[in-house]
């Protein structure tokens, strides 16, 4: 029952506001977390056996007749489902305590679950229009979640995000229309087959350019990044974690990768464009991050930079590069989710996000300081944490493919990344305790529990990296490395 | 062809007007006229269902909702149109049409046309059997919209 990944969060989201009338806190907390925990267990326990003999296809009957509810689960989509549900669970655990003072908790969980359902639907979609539709489901929920605090900055950031996101959606939709006009079909295997037989390089180029602009905006690659440094810091901390950890990867990187590698087929030109876009993002955003005073803004710029690594790895197109890119996607989702959550803990305890006002908080918030350190070192790529291995894979793949300059840039930017993460750690947690924070206490139980959960995962994935790569990354990278054949051959619907 | 071109020019004209006009009522009506043009284009291109929905929902229902909202919230102040609109709008419009005429003609010839297949069944069959997942997605979008409104307008109620 692959449809459960979409239907369950939607159904729970539908009933939550009603339940919220009866029980304001306990039941919504319980129900939302139970749903996400179920999705994690379901992805791990049921998903893997399901695709053991190739991709699983969902076909449903309704009153004795087959209806067109086609979803496909392969190694790549299962991997994304795992990422979404694990980070989603961490975030919803954190929300139990963090969202107390915002009010309307049932509504908040409902929107969060709709966003998760949208992302899951996008990952399982087998049709270009479904990809667009579920992209919008996740996006509509995310606009209001960015504005959830209702302050001036939040509303302004949400509006900016909405406007740029609409431009992205419009160019994606336009490109889908062009492809439909060319091939007469929307389903991915049919489009892949038709494009292979058609000789229409110029028009395919135009629709690829439109997709790069649309998905580039969604993934916030430089030069399409303007909305992200406003939108991500303004949202409540758990939502920042979902946006940076998941949404930009699912609606930007996943959709782009699926279409370019499995439907269009990665041409040398496309590969070059993706690699340059990735490199510009990873270097540019790292320099922009250095100058930030606001801790969440710094993390937001860091997200752009790390997405650059992912796109660089996947854009390279070799099996090792793709595996490295996907592994980095997983690691960044865990670590950046964790870092946004710890920044939320700091903000709730001290009331500020300004790094210059903090100092010595490690003495008052030992768990937050320790988990933040794990996340920071992981993203910066310090061994033996998970981020080190994925960056190593990407750099090895670049050297292997004969791109030593790209590899050098990636290594140097990694040093820059370590620099600004140590800056956060030193300014916020180390040094003398600022007098103002003498009375600050450690974050409440569930907030600490969820950051510890994600930090332990970062450490565990780092130590067990070969197991993780074998069980989750290899099957996903295999699907992408197979290129167009993966969809045409095994998705024969 | 001439009718088609005229309809498309009208569509662009009124769409741009809807953005440039500062008076909300006029902007809403421009939008309705634009979607009326689009509906007619749909009819002429043998897509009657799309035409019916475009005209009844976008030109009809949504305009009524817009006008109702404007009527309920407007403070009856005279809105001054920006002088910029008088210059920028015609300029934009001319540039758009010129670029469109230059680019699209070359582009359209490059797109291999697909032979339009036989009708794939009635409207109901296509909607319920062919595009079932779209319906699920639309339910999700509507839910997201409703919950967004509930969430974003939660504090204002108390203050009022």
Write the pLDDT tens digit of every residue in A400-411.
999 999 999 999
Is residue A393 very low, low, confident or very high in pLDDT (cuts 50, 70, 90)? very high
Give the pLDDT band of residue B116 (cuts 50, 70, 90).
Answer: low
Report the residue of chain A nearest B104, measured CA to CA. A203
Q: Which pTM does this prediction carry?
A: 0.89
Tokens standing for residue A317: 């197109």
Query: In the predicted model, is pLDDT for residue B118 greater than 60?
Result: no
The number of folded domains in chain A is 1
Which DSSP letter does residue B23 get?
S
State the average pLDDT over residues A228-257.
Answer: 92
C-alpha to C-alpha distance for A357 and A436, rounded to whole angstroms: 9
Cβ distance of B148 and A140 shorter than 8 Å: yes
Q: Is residue A391 scored above 80 in pLDDT?
A: yes
- pLDDT of A63 strictly over 80: no
Q: Which residues of B touch A206 (CB under 8 A)?
A: 107
Would you kindly state where each structural domain of chain B is located, as residue ranges?
Answer: 1-75
Average pLDDT over residues B131-138: 83
- For residue A490, give both structure tokens: 């095994």
Angle, alpha carbons A2-A217-A196 (nearest 5°): 60
Burial of residue B102, with CB atoms counted within 10 A of its CB: 0-12 exposed, 13-18 middle, 19 or more buried: exposed
- Helix residue spans in A23-104 (DSSP H): 26-42, 48-50, 75-98
User: What pLDDT, in 10s, does the model give residues A94-145?
Assistant: 999 999 888 888 999 999 999 999 999 999 998 899 999 999 999 999 999 9
Taking an 8 Å cut-off on Cβ atoms, the answer to whether B141 and A137 are in contact is yes
Residues in B 116-135 with any Cβ partner in A closer than 8 A: 117, 128-134
Q: Which of B136, B155, B157 to mutate to test the interface with A (most CBs of A within 10 A)?
A: B136
Q: How close, in Å, is residue A91 to chain B by CA atoms?
A: 19
Q: Is the pLDDT of residue A288 over 70?
A: yes
Average pLDDT across chain B, whole number: 79
Give the pLDDT confidence of A469-491 residue by residue, as tens digits.
999 999 999 999 888 888 888 77
pLDDT tier for residue B158 given thresholds of 50, 70 and 90: very low
Mean pLDDT of B86-97: 77
Q: Which DSSP state fits A258?
A: I
A182: tokens are 């060319």
Residues 6+ apart with CB under 8 A from B18: B27, B28, B30, B31, B34
Size of interface A-B (CB pairs under 8 A): 114
Residues of A in contact with B100 (CB under 8 A): none
Residues with Cβ within 8 Å of residue A328, at least 6 apart in sequence:
A306, A309, A310, A313, A387, A390, A391, A393, A394
Confidence tier at B44 by pLDDT (50, 70, 90): confident
pLDDT-based confidence at residue A492 (cuts at 50, 70, 90):
low
Residue span of the structural domain in which A33 resides: 4-490
Q: Which chain A residue's Cα is nearest to B107?
A: A203
Residue with tokens 């794990």: A374
- Per cent of chain A over pLDDT 70 is 98
pLDDT (average), residues A405-432? 91
How much is the average pLDDT of B50-66?
86
Q: Which of A108, A130, A136 sits opposite B151 (nearest CB)?
A: A108
* Residues A45, A78: Cα–Cα separation, whole Å: 11
CA A116, A119, A124 angle in degrees (round to 5)? Answer: 125
pLDDT for position B77? 66
How high is the pLDDT of residue B157?
43
Q: Closest to B152 (Cβ–Cβ): which among A7, A17, A150? A: A150
Name the strand (E) or helix (H) holding A173.
Answer: helix A152-183
DSSP structure class, residue A62: E
With H, G, I as helix, E, B as strand and everything else as coil, classify residue A444. Answer: coil
Q: A130 vs B134: CB contact, 8 Å cut-off?
A: yes
Based on its alpha-carbon atoms, the radius of gyration of chain A, rounded to whole angstroms, reads: 21
Sort out which chain A residues have CB atoms less than 8 A from B114's CB and list them. 181-184
Alpha helices in A235-385 (DSSP H): 237-242, 255-257, 268-290, 295-316, 319-350, 366-380
- Sequence-distant (6+) residues with CB within 8 A of A465 are A327, A386, A389
Among B126, B137, B141, the residue to mutate for chain A (most A Cβ within 10 A):
B137
pLDDT band at A69 (very low <50, low <70, confident <90, very high): confident
Helical (H) or strand (E) element with A60: strand A56-62
Average pLDDT, chain A: 90
CB atoms within 10 A of CB B69: 12
- The residue-averaged pLDDT of A209-226 equals 92
How far is A464 from A470, CA to CA, in rounded Å?
10
pLDDT digits (tens, 9 = 90+) for A335-380: 999 999 999 999 998 888 888 888 888 888 999 999 999 999 999 9
B160 pLDDT band, cuts 50/70/90, is: very low
Judged against a pLDDT cut of 70, whether residue A216 lies above it is answered with yes
Cβ-Cβ contacts under 8 Å, A137 against chain B: 137, 140-141, 144
Other Cβ atoms less than 10 A from the Cβ of A187: the count is 20
Give the number of C-alpha atoms closer than 13 A to the C-alpha of residue A419, restricted to the C-beta side. 13
Q: Taking a C-beta distance cutoff of 8 angstroms, is the pair A459, A385 a contact?
A: yes
* Closest among B19, B12, B2 to B35, alpha carbons compared: B12
- Do residues A477 and A394 lie in contact, with contact meaning Cβ atoms separated by under 8 Å? no
């Amino acid at each position: 029952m692959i449809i459960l990944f979409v239907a369950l969060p939607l159904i729970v989201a539908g009933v939550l506001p009603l339940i919220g009338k009866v029980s304001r806190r306990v039941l919504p907390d319980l129900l939302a977390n139970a749903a996400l925990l179920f999705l994690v267990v379901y992805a791990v326990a049921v998903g893997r056996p399901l695709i053991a003999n190739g991709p699983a296809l969902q076909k449903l009957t309704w009153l004795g007749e087959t209806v067109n509810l086609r979803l496909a689960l392969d190694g790549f989509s299962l991997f994304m489902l795992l990422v979404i549900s694990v980070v989603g669970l961490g975030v919803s655990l954190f929300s139990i305590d963090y969202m107390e003072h915002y009010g309307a908790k049932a509504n908040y969980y409902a929107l969060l679950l709709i966003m998760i359902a949208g992302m899951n639907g996008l990952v399982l979609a087998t049709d270009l229009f479904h990809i667009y539709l579920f992209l919008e489901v996740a996006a509509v929920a995310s606009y209001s979640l960015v504005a959830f605090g209702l302050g001036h900055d939040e509303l302004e950031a949400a509006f900016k995000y909405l406007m740029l996101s609409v431009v992205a959606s419009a160019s994606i939709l336009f490109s889908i229309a062009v492809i439909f006009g060319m091939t007469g079909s929307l389903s991915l295997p049919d489009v892949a087959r038709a494009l292979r037989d058609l000789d229409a390089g110029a028009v395919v180029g135009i629709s690829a350019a439109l997709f790069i602009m649309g998905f580039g905006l969604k993934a916030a690659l430089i030069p399409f990044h303007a909305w992200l440094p406003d939108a991500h810091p303004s949202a409540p901390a758990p939502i920042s974690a979902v946006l940076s950890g998941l949404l930009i990867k699912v609606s930007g990187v996943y959709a782009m990768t699926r279409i370019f590698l499995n439907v269009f087929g990665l041409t040398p030109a496309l590969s070059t464009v993706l690699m340059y876009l990735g490199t510009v993002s990873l270097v540019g955003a790292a320099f922009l991050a250095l100058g930030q005073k606001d801790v969440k803004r710094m993390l937001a710029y860091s997200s752009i930079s790390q997405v650059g690594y992912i796109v660089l790895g996947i854009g390279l197109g070799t099996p090792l590069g793709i595996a490295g890119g996907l592994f980095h996607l997983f690691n960044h989702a865990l670590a950046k989710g964790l870092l946004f959550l710890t920044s939320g803990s700091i903000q709730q305890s001290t009331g500020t996000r300004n790094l210059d006002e903090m100092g010595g908080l490690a003495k008052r918030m030992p768990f937050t300081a320790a988990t933040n350190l794990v996340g920071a070192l992981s993203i910066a790529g310090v061994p033996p944490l998970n981020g080190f291995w994925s960056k190593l894979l990407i750099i090895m793949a670049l050297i292997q493919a004969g791109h030593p300059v790209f590899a050098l840039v990636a290594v140097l930017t990694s040093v820059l990344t370590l620099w600004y993460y140590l800056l956060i750690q030193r300014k916020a947690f180390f040094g003398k305790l600022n007098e103002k924070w003498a009375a600050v206490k450690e974050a409440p139980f569930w907030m600490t529990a969820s950051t510890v959960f994600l930090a332990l995962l970062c450490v565990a994935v780092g130590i067990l990296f070969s197991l993780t790569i074998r069980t989750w990354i290899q099957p996903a990278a295999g699907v992408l490395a197979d290129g167009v054949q993966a969809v045409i051959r095994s998705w024969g619907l | 062809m001439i009718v088609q071109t005229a309809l498309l020019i009208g569509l662009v004209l009124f769409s741009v007007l809807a953005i440039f006009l500062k008076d909300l009522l006029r902007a809403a009506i421009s939008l309705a006229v634009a979607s009326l043009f689009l509906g007619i284009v749909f009819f002429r291109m043998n897509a009657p269902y799309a035409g019916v929905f475009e005209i009844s929902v976008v030109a009809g229902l949504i305009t009524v909702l817009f006008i109702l909202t404007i009527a309920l919230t407007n403070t009856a102040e005279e809105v001054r149109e920006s002088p910029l609109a008088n210059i920028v709008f015609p300029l934009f419009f001319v540039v758009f049409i010129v670029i469109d005429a230059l680019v699209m003609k070359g582009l359209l010839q490059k797109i291999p046309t697909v032979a339009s297949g036989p009708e794939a069944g009635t409207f109901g069959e296509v909607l319920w059997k062919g595009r079932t997942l779209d319906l699920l997605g639309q339910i999700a979008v509507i839910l997201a919209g409703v919950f967004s409104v509930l969430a974003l307008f939660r504090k204002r109620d108390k203050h009022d």
